[in-house]
């Protein structure tokens, strides 16, 4: 049981009253409980857990509660993201080749890896689903000048930013669609479809992959990056009353952390041609770099947040929430030296 209860803990976190090392320790305790929950005593039970989830997802909608997710997590001020993220505004794991790699270099290194693994060639038509602020869209459009990149997001502010930025960079090969992927339909097909950090927001992967496969050209490839646990998969919901961390870090049950091989069970309409995993150390280091930037810019962020929240007191709470999310990333992906929660890259071809 948490001393003082969950609400008391949330209040202290909001006010920044818990020292950093203590926050990390409290998070590690919950992560250890999640591992205990997820690891089964026999391999038979382990596989059954993953399979049960894959079956149950096939009865759900493609996604749920997108509006809540959208407003809470992704409609944040651009100036804030420019402080926290690297120059490309990448909102997912970056790739740190070694200790001296900077955040900006790590953003580029990961996008290079995406292009290589997705086998993109100049002249390809490319679809970037769940494009964030267009980091990969711009990277591909600038690297492959004869390619045309269509970015899709459900966030109004992300769409506006990408359009303005494409004009500023004089890129005529970038187009943005504002759409909810769960309900969006389109007639066009693409040589390459890139999906980075979106699948975690979805539920019915059978229907989703059926839909996406219809957008793949005949010899098209689909490249997916998703966070995962190496062995088990779960809806991001508290495991019990004491699991304050899941409640704190994830928007009410909308997200999933798949297992590393989860999508091997969803090959009805597209088949897996390659599969890689990347140590969680990369995302842990990414969120650690984000945290450093937040801490170095508190004096700028508080007044910026106060213009949205209406008071300095609420701005402090919002900043502490973001600091908490960064701590969570550092601890989750760094757990057991990056060998529990990590990144999975999956390459599909159309069937
Ligand atoms: C974790 S971010 C990753 C962004 C980007 N791919 C990157 O790596 O920086 C997830 C993105 O998916 C978008 N998204 C989430 N649910 C969506 C939905 N139902 N339809 C369209 N976009 C969605 C969010 O707005 C956000 O841009």
Nearest CA to ligand 1 atom 19: 180
How many A from CA of 18 to the centre of ligand 1? 31
What is the pLDDT confidence band of residue 64, given thresholds at 50, 70 and 90?
confident
CA of 12 to the centre of ligand 1 (A): 30
For the chain, percent of residues with pLDDT exceeding 70: 96
Residue 5 Cα to ligand 1 midpoint, Å, equals 33
Residue 236 reports pLDDT greater than 80:
yes
Alpha helices per DSSP H over the chain: 6-14, 20-38, 43-57, 66-69, 78-84, 103-118, 135-143, 156-168, 205-214, 244-249, 281-296, 298-309, 312-334
- Ligand 1 atom closest to the Cα of residue 90 is 9
**Centre of ligand 1 from the C-alpha of residue 45, in Å:** 33
Share of the chain above pLDDT 90, in %: 91
pLDDT in tens, 90-126: 999 999 999 999 999 999 999 999 999 999 999 999 9
Q: Which residues line ligand 1 (CB under 6 A)?
A: 63, 66, 74, 90-92, 130-132, 135, 152-155, 158, 180-182, 196-198, 201
* Confidence at 42, pLDDT banded by 50, 70, 90: very high
The confidence band for 15, taking pLDDT boundaries of 50, 70 and 90, is very high
CA angle (158, 163, 164) in 5-degree steps:
100
Location of structure tokens 């646990």: 229
Average pLDDT over residues 222-243: 96
Q: Return mean pLDDT, the chain.
A: 94
Catalytically active residues, by annotation = 326
Sequence ranges of the domains in the chain: 6-350
Question: What is the Cα–Cα distance from 139 to 262, expressed in whole angstroms?
Answer: 28
For ligand 1, atom 16: residue with the closest CA = 201
CATH-assigned architecture of domain 6-350: 3-Layer(aba) Sandwich (3.40)
Instruction: Please say if the pLDDT value at position 28 is more than 80.
Output: yes
In this prediction, residue 1 carries a pLDDT of 55
Q: Which residues contact 25 (CB under 8 A, 6 or more apart)?
A: none
Q: Which of 29, 112, 62, 27 is nearest to 328 (CA)?
A: 27
**pTM given for the model:** 0.96
Torsion over CA: 9, 13, 17, 20 (sign)? positive
CA distance 115 to 223: 9
Predicted confidence band at 5 (pLDDT cuts at 50, 70, 90)?
A: confident
- The pLDDT assigned to 184 comes to 93
pLDDT score of 75 more than 70 = no
- Mean pLDDT, residues 34-61 taken together: 97
Query: What does residue 124 show for φ and ψ, rounded to 5 degrees?
Result: -65, 150
Residue 227 pLDDT > 80: yes
Residue 71 predicted with pLDDT over 50: no
* Nearest-atom index, ligand 1, CA of 132: 27
Ligand 1: atom nearest CA of 155 is 25
- What is the per-residue pLDDT across 150-175, written as a single tens digit (0 to 9) for each? 999 999 999 999 999 999 999 999 99
The CA distance from 151 to 218, in Å, is 20
Residue 146 has pLDDT above 60, yes or no: yes
pLDDT band, residue 140 (cuts 50/70/90): very high
pLDDT, tens only, 306-350: 998 899 999 999 999 999 999 999 999 999 999 999 999 999 999
pLDDT given at position 68:
42
What's the sign of the alpha-carbon dihedral 331, 334, 337, 342?
Answer: positive
- CA distance linking residue 23 with residue 17, whole number of Å: 10
């Amino acid at each position: 049981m948490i001393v003082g209860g969950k609400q008391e803990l949330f209040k202290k976190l909001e006010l920044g009253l818990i020292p950093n090392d203590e926050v990390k320790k409290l998070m590690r305790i919950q992560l250890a409980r999640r591992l205990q929950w997820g690891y089964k005593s026999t391999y038979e039970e382990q596989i059954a857990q993953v399979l049960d989830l894959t079956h149950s997802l096939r009865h759900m909608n493609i996604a749920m509660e997108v509006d809540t997710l959208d407003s809470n997590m992704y409609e944040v001020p651009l100036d804030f993201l420019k402080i926290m993220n690297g120059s490309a505004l990448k909102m997912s794991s970056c790739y740190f080749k070694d200790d001296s790699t900077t955040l900006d270099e790590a953003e580029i290194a990961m996008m290079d890896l995406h292009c290589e693994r997705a086998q993109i060639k100049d002249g390809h038509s490319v679809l970037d689903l769940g494009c964030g602020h267009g980091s990969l869209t711009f990277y591909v459009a600038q690297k492959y000048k004869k390619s045309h990149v269509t970015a899709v997001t459900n966030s109004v502010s992300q769409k506006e930013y990408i359009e303005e930025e494409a004009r500023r960079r004089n890129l005529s090969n970038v187009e943005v669609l504002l759409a909810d992927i769960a309900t969006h339909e389109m007639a066009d097909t693409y040589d390459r479809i890139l999906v980075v950090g979106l699948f975690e927001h979805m539920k019915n992967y059978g229907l989703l992959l059926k839909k996406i496969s219809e957008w793949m050209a005949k010899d098209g490839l689909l490249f997916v990056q998703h966070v995962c646990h190496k062995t088990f998969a779960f809806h991001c919901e508290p495991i019990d009353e004491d699991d304050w961390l899941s409640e704190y870090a994830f928007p009410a049950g909308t997200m999933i952390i798949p297992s590393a091989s989860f999508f091997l069970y969803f090959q009805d309409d597209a088949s897996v041609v390659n599969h890689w995993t990347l140590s969680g150390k990369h995302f842990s280091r990414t969120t650690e770099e984000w945290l450093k930037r937040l801490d170095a810019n508190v004096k700028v962020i508080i007044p910026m947040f106060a213009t949205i929240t209406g008071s300095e007191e609420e701005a402090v709470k919002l900043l502490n929430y973001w600091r908490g999310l960064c701590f969570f990333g550092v601890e989750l992906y760094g757990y057991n030296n990056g060998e529990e929660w990590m990144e999975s890259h999956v390459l599909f071809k159309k069937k």
